Structure 1
């Protein structure tokens, strides 16, 4: 299991955000026992900053009986209530305020966290205190995937986008508690291999984007070096999309991340590399067009869980390295190992 404090770094880089030093110090010193406690801490600290600065505002449609016309007159309810003879009308109008879709989602997330038993009483109390600082006009939205998807379609500033990612991760592990109306239990998202594979891949790619200047960092589509009698047959070839490509004038590294429990698998009483992973990387290397003066290399990177691995080969004329990254060590060691890997 990845230590909870290190999850902070993985998530920050995966979400393309340089870790904040003051926040890192508070995370590093806190005795977190569950990932939910870390996510709640990040949600609270980010929400406090938004409240100090002032929650974002947007125009929301309001409907009310008015003595003066404003916006659009809604004839059907106005006539049904016989309001015209009273000098009144039902109007629909836009009003600027903090009751935006994002703020509604944030309030809904805090409402759910304020009731769960998966947080300490002190943290639940702090959640309720921060929720109480919201303007009364902000109405909680259901803390659901549909609401998250709706907010995801909006163009949010960086601070709100980070909190949206936190909310999404919290909601992903949320399950209703049986026989406990209104309460929610939460799974440890570190057990979700597909999710963690995506986090690990994005973490590595964005770490190199933010922490070094030698290479251009991208995820690239590789074109098959193939021909066919009928050109339409080429459309059936699968896409080749690298996890991370690091490129300079004299060196190109195709780095494929694999979030697996082990880099080796037992086969006939011996440990072997996972063949599909190696075949995939080999296909990437073999289909790269040659550039004079540029060394092409391949790396398979696994998180170290059961044992450390560092294997080096030459395949098809290209250096290939299969290596593990120890995510259980202090963050400084993780950063050092990643930088040394492409040195």
Structure 2
């Protein structure tokens, strides 16, 4: 199976199913049986099924502000526009009103992403055909330039919750893969950028433990500074990626997705010092009893580097480990690695 920077494409799908559990619904049940040659094809499969399902429910509508010249009053009168019409001897009123419309930001993002995938030749023809068919239902929806999308204006509520996973996939594609050629044309890169993969990797590990080990109470935790007094003014917040807790023991996992796990100084390789400092700081400040019940782990996504050591250190009474999760393996083996971590620390 083809890989994305050393990660099996199918494993990216499995990571997405944990990050966005709606993918476990029957709408998407056939995807995990398919083989994908590239990540574009995977995303096209998810969106084609998801948008087809959304069309059966109906596209989300919201009130949008409209302006029009009308013979009868509607909404609010635009006085300056109406006076202008009067001067020009036009027997119409300039009105502003709200109308329930499918032409809103959420549907515009879906349409733009579908158009990008339809143009991508690495997407299988049958999937492009499904997307083209779906696009017919977006005739009243405007295309929006990818660079002009205001993601901060995307808000979810009871009436549009079904869009959440779809738009997250759209954002992975647009923010994580979109490139501009010298001619100013848009095309998709062959892989997700490191920043997007890092967030997905972290979310996957967190949701894996939440689903399979609820007894570990997996959460990102805020770590309070272990101070001698109450003066914490100007101290930065410390928030873990994943904290697992059970029976008085705690494991802080710092999930790291880098192209290179090691750093080199004067031709000598070592673990990245900033990462070790960070997890050590989390551990020492959370271990308020100073009894060694809090451990830390740097869990790297294994990369193509030849030298990827693992190690355990006893630092001032606390265990700090450095491990790698091999995302190029079949998913059953990835799951096995995560299970061994849970067993080692909490059994």
TM tier, smaller: 0.7 to 0.9
Give the CA deviation at 1:37.
Answer: 1.8
Contact 2:28 2:50 (8 Å CA) reproduced: no
Provide the secondary structure at the position in 1 that maps to 2:258.
Answer: coil
Task: Pick the aligned partner of 2:14 from 9, 17, 29.
Answer: 9
Give the CA deviation at 1:138.
Answer: 2.4
Counterpart position of 2:3: none
Provide the secondary structure at the position in 2 that maps to 1:132.
Answer: helix
Contact 2:117 2:128 (8 Å CA) reproduced: yes
Counterpart position of 2:77: 73
Q: Is 1:324 matched up with 2:321?
A: no
Counterpart position of 2:204: 203
Provide the secondary structure at the position in 2 that maps to 1:165.
Answer: helix
Task: Pick the aligned partner of 2:168 from 165, 168, 183.
Answer: 165
Task: Pick the aligned partner of 2:151 from 143, 149, 152.
Answer: 149
Q: CA RMSD in A?
A: 3.2
Provide the secondary structure at the position in 1 that maps to 2:214.
Answer: coil
Q: In structure 1, what is the Cα distance between the partners aligned to 2:212 and 2:228?
A: 40
Counterpart position of 1:314: 314
Task: Pick the aligned partner of 2:134 from 130, 137, 140.
Answer: 130
Give the CA deviation at 1:177.
Answer: 3.8
Gaps of 5+ in 2: 1-5
Provide the secondary structure at the position in 2 that maps to 1:198.
Answer: helix
Give the CA deviation at 1:256.
Answer: 1.1
Counterpart position of 2:218: 217
Give the CA deviation at 1:111.
Answer: 2.5
Counterpart position of 1:48: 52
Q: In structure 2, what is the Cα distance between the partners aligned to 1:255 and 1:312?
A: 14
Provide the secondary structure at the position in 1 that maps to 2:146.
Answer: coil
Task: Pick the aligned partner of 2:93 from 89, 92, 117.
Answer: 89
Gaps of 5+ in 1: none
Give the CA deviation at 1:238.
Answer: 4.1
Q: In structure 2, what is the Cα distance between the partners aligned to 1:30 and 1:340?
A: 28
Q: In structure 2, what is the Cα distance between the partners aligned to 1:157 and 1:291?
A: 46
Contact 2:242 2:254 (8 Å CA) reproduced: yes
Q: In structure 2, what is the Cα distance between the partners aligned to 1:125 and 1:17?
A: 26
Tell me: CA distance 1:80–1:239, structure 2 relative to 1, closer, same or farther (3 Å).
closer
Contact 1:65 1:89 (8 Å CA) reproduced: yes
Contact 1:177 1:185 (8 Å CA) reproduced: yes
Give the CA deviation at 1:272.
Answer: 4.0
Contact 1:250 1:294 (8 Å CA) reproduced: no
Q: TM-score, normalised by structure 2?
A: 0.82
Contact 2:116 2:187 (8 Å CA) reproduced: no
Q: In structure 2, what is the Cα distance between the partners aligned to 1:293 and 1:274?
A: 27
Q: Deviations over 1:198-256 (max 9, x none)?
A: 2212221222222211122222232333458x95xx53544432211112342111111
Contact 2:312 2:322 (8 Å CA) reproduced: yes
Q: Is 1:30 matched up with 2:34?
A: yes
Counterpart position of 1:242: 240
Tell me: CA distance 1:73–1:267, structure 2 relative to 1, closer, same or farther (3 Å).
closer
